[in-house]
Amino acid sequence: MAATSSAPPLTQPRSTVAVIGLGSIGGVAAGCLAALGRFDVVACVRKPIDKLTLEEPNGTVDVQLRVLADPQKAEPADWVLLCTKTYQTEAASPWLARLCTRATRVAVLQNGIDHVARVAPLANGATVIPVIVYYNGERLAPDRVRLRQGASSDFVVANDAAGQAFAQLFAGTPLRLQLGDDFITIAWRKLLINAIASPITALTLQRQAVLRRADVKELALALLDEAIAVGRAEGATLADDEAARTLATLFTFAGELGTSMYFDRLAGRKLEVDALTGAIVAAGARHGIATPLNNALLALLRAINDATE
């Protein structure tokens, strides 16, 4: 994978970037783009805010955004960043209907797999770009987010024209981007990370340091073995030592970091179960591959969701 970093010409007309969902991922992305001063950034939210404060490795910056709380007031945008939870995609459809035309590019910054299949039917013929997100974002308040970086890149997109355009969009921001030639494998590698870090931190109500326990590492490796078998059946090219590689990647993040599922459970919000563990179990069932440990986690996570609804 090769990094891209060249900025667009200064004479390029200002583009409009609409960000749907200003949580930990969307807030960081919106803050980074707005801080460039190169784009008109529109935040599509449920509750308006006056400004956004972004804490990032080089300091803290306050940015002004145009904020919309009513989809009916939205106008077509050049770019749309869909940063909601996967289970909120359908609820975002009124925004997509107003923001998207065939000329729009929709970048899907969501967990799981099947980004295009999930979003394309709602996007009015817009180009849908699946994006794998690696940075750790934390929403400290409705108007304040924190960026922490651990892995070697913050975004990975397909190495095609749409992915290269997304790379240009974020050129000059603190967010590091790589282009990948085998997107199925890339998506499954990210799913493997989420499939252990998210459920285990949510169920134990502990941050990522819990993954370093010897007994939890043993459980994580067993969960990964199941998921890797499923990923290979789905077409992902996963290495013989993929489970160990996945844990090594996770351990590049500081132990005090949480996961989005951990923070959702602390806040009493619905957990993003079916896009992560649920996706593994469902794919395993399609291929006749047993996933008893992931199935056990799925039952526990769904029980938590049932208690929060």
The CATH number linked to 257 is 1.10.1040.10
Mean pLDDT (whole number) for 22-35:
95
- Whether residue 1 is predicted with pLDDT greater than 70 in this model: the reply is no
Mean pLDDT (whole number) for 198-211:
97
* Residue reference for tokens 């603190």: 174
33 belongs to a structural domain: yes
Instruction: Provide the pLDDT for residue 14.
Output: 83
Mean pLDDT (whole number) for 217-233:
98
* 190 included as an active-site residue: yes
Residue 121: Cβ within 10 Å count:
13
Identify the band that residue 155 occupies on the pLDDT scale cut at 50, 70 and 90: very high
Average pLDDT, the chain: 93
pTM summary value: 0.84
Identify the band that residue 269 occupies on the pLDDT scale cut at 50, 70 and 90: very high
The tally of domains found in the chain comes to: 2
- Whether residue 3 is predicted with pLDDT greater than 70 in this model: the reply is no
Mean pLDDT (whole number) for 281-309:
95
Domain boundary among 126, 157, 181: 181
Same domain, 230 and 93: no
1 belongs to a structural domain: no
Mean pLDDT (whole number) for 257-266:
93
Same domain, 169 and 202: no
**CA 139 to CA 47: how far, in whole Å?**
15
CA-closest candidate to residue 169, choices 2, 1, 18: 18
Same domain, 153 and 199: no
Same domain, 194 and 274: yes
Which amino acid makes up residue 20? I
Instruction: Provide the pLDDT for residue 266.
Output: 94
- Whether residue 5 is predicted with pLDDT greater than 50 in this model: the reply is no
Q: What CATH number corresponds to the domain at position 68?
A: 3.40.50.720
Same domain, 42 and 122: yes
Same domain, 175 and 196: no
Q: What are residue 238's DSSP bridge partners?
A: none
How does DSSP classify residue 219? H
Nearest-10 Cα torsion for 223, 225, 226, 231: 120
Catalytically annotated residue among 47, 73, 85, 190 = 190
CB contact burial 205-226 (16+ within 10 A = b; e otherwise): ebbbebbeeeebbebbeebbeb
Instruction: Provide the pLDDT for residue 184.
Output: 92
Identify the band that residue 136 occupies on the pLDDT scale cut at 50, 70 and 90: confident
CA-closest candidate to residue 44, choices 29, 61, 60, 59: 29
Same domain, 193 and 175: no
**CA 122 to CA 152: how far, in whole Å?**
33
Residue-number span of the structural domain to which 245 is assigned: 184-308
190 belongs to a structural domain: yes
Same domain, 54 and 174: yes
- Whether residue 188 is predicted with pLDDT greater than 60 in this model: the reply is yes
CA-closest candidate to residue 253, choices 287, 225, 211: 211
Same domain, 21 and 167: yes
